Amino acid sequence: MVPPDLKEKNEIGMSPYQLHFRGEKRTDRVHLRLIDYGPETLQERELDSVDDVLALKDSPTVSWLNVDGVHDAKTMEAIARGLGFETLILADAMNTRSRPKIAEYANCLFVSIKMLREEDASEELKVEHLSLVVTEHMLISFQEEMGDVFNPVRERIRAQKKRIRGSGPDYLMFALLDIVVDNYIYIIGKLGDKIEDLEDGLLEDPSKTVIEEINAYKRELNNLRKNILPAREVILNLSKLDSEFIDEEKNAVHFRELVDNINQAAEATSNYREILSDQLTIYHTTISSKLNDIMKFLTVFSVIFIPLTFIAGIYGTNFDVLPELHFRYSYYVMWGIMISVAVGMLVYFKRNKWL
């Protein structure tokens, strides 16, 4: 796991205005997808170049430009130039290792957040740096690669849902953020299920793999938390923001909804953290109490034989005068004594609850 917040030596002191992709090297082509919609109209297509979108810049319809791939400085520059954004905005979108943030500019609002999604086939968790730029009539979303969690929104647009088709890019932004947060909750819930399943095997059969699972889940949960807590910060700041690109009155309900959801996500993570930590304690307690039982049993076992072996040792000595050796029933008497001693000790141990 490469730590996500490292700085390469050659990146130190770089001007914040320089468009420089910070992340793993990529070479795949950048995809541009456009959905342009109004209450009555809808067009959806793949773009070959950024120029195609410029015409829509001032049209009253909502244009959602989705950019899959932020590693190509040239495309990014074309977008910045074409739409009149400051380079700093796109520099933030390209720095996929940066923390979620929110920033207001003269002609747009910038929001970045980490998008978590489960790859359909492999159920592997993908973390992507998602940046949204909202202008008066447009929303541009930047993702690191193809594949996202936004299909329900696309479906809602296609299904001509009145609310989304009749609202501006601010509503679209809420819809997208809402899905991102919904996915947080879904992913935490799935991890939480696995964590709660652990509990059953914990008391009965605390094998060594359990502790490794607990540690793995803990790390996974920390990983989620590192993404969710800054997201909460961003969303809380968003709800306090007084921006011209968001119609606050119309969206008050969505703000509240979003804050509620992200809070629920954050609470769930800390709940599962506590559960994991309790499980760890239970594991250690069970293991050590089991070991104690074994050691106690073995110690008691060997202690019982100690006086018996001693007695046998006595009658193994070669003294000329050792009267007991010569009585007729001595040997049987010795056995009798031995058995009484052993039984006596067992009774004593039982009574003291040592067994």
Identify residues 167-226 at the interface with its own copies (CB under 8 A): 175, 178-179, 182-183, 185-186, 189, 192-193, 196, 203, 208, 211-212, 215, 218, 222, 226
Candidates 26-34, 46-54, 76-84, 310-318: pick the segment binding its own copies (CB under 8 A). Answer: 310-318
Give me 151's structure tokens.
Answer: 């299909």
Pick from 331, 336, 339, 347: which binds its own copies (CB under 8 A)? Answer: 331
Instruction: Give 121 or 294: the residue with its C-beta nearer to its own copies.
Output: 294
Give me 323's structure tokens.
Answer: 């009267």
Candidates 38-46, 65-73, 136-144, 248-256: pick the segment binding its own copies (CB under 8 A). Answer: 248-256
236 binds its own copies (CB under 8 A): no
Q: How far is the CB of 18 from its own copies (least distance, A)?
A: 10
Q: Alpha helix (H) ranges present in 136-247?
A: 151-158, 162-166, 169-204, 208-240
348 binds its own copies (CB under 8 A): no
Q: Binders of its own copies among 141-170, rule CB under 8 A? A: 149-153, 156, 161, 163-164
Q: Which long-range contacts (CB under 8 A, 24 or more apart) does 304-310 make?
A: 304/342, 304/345, 304/346, 307/341, 307/345, 308/338, 308/341, 308/342
Q: Are strands 101-104 and 109-118 parallel, antiparallel or unpaired?
A: antiparallel
240 binds its own copies (CB under 8 A): no
289 binds its own copies (CB under 8 A): yes
Q: How far is the CB of 58 from its own copies (least distance, A)?
A: 26
Could you give the string, one character per residue 37-76, with x where binding to its own copies holds by CB under 8 A and - elsewhere? Answer: ----------------------------------------
8 A C-beta contact, residue 52 and residue 129 = no
Pick from 27, 122, 209, 317: which binds its own copies (CB under 8 A)? Answer: 317
Give residue 132's identity as a one-letter amino acid code. L
Give me 299's structure tokens.
Answer: 């110690």
Expressed in percent and rounded to 5, the helix, strand and coil fractions of the chain are 55, 15, 30
Instruction: Identify any residues that bridge with 33 across adjacent strands, giving them in sequence order.
Output: 46, 66
Pick from 267, 340, 344, 347: which binds its own copies (CB under 8 A)? Answer: 267
116 binds its own copies (CB under 8 A): no
57 DSSP 8-state letter: T
Burial class, 3, CB count within 10 angstroms (exposed 0-12 / middle 13-18 / buried 19+)? exposed
13 sits in the region (left: phi over 0; alpha: psi -120 to 50; else beta) called left
Q: How far is the CB of 11 from its own copies (least distance, A)?
A: 7
315 binds its own copies (CB under 8 A): yes
Q: How far is the CB of 137 from its own copies (least distance, A)?
A: 22
Instruction: Give 146 or 314: the residue with its C-beta nearer to its own copies.
Output: 314
Binders of its own copies: how many residues, by CB under 8 A?
A: 102
8 A C-beta contact, residue 128 and residue 115 = yes
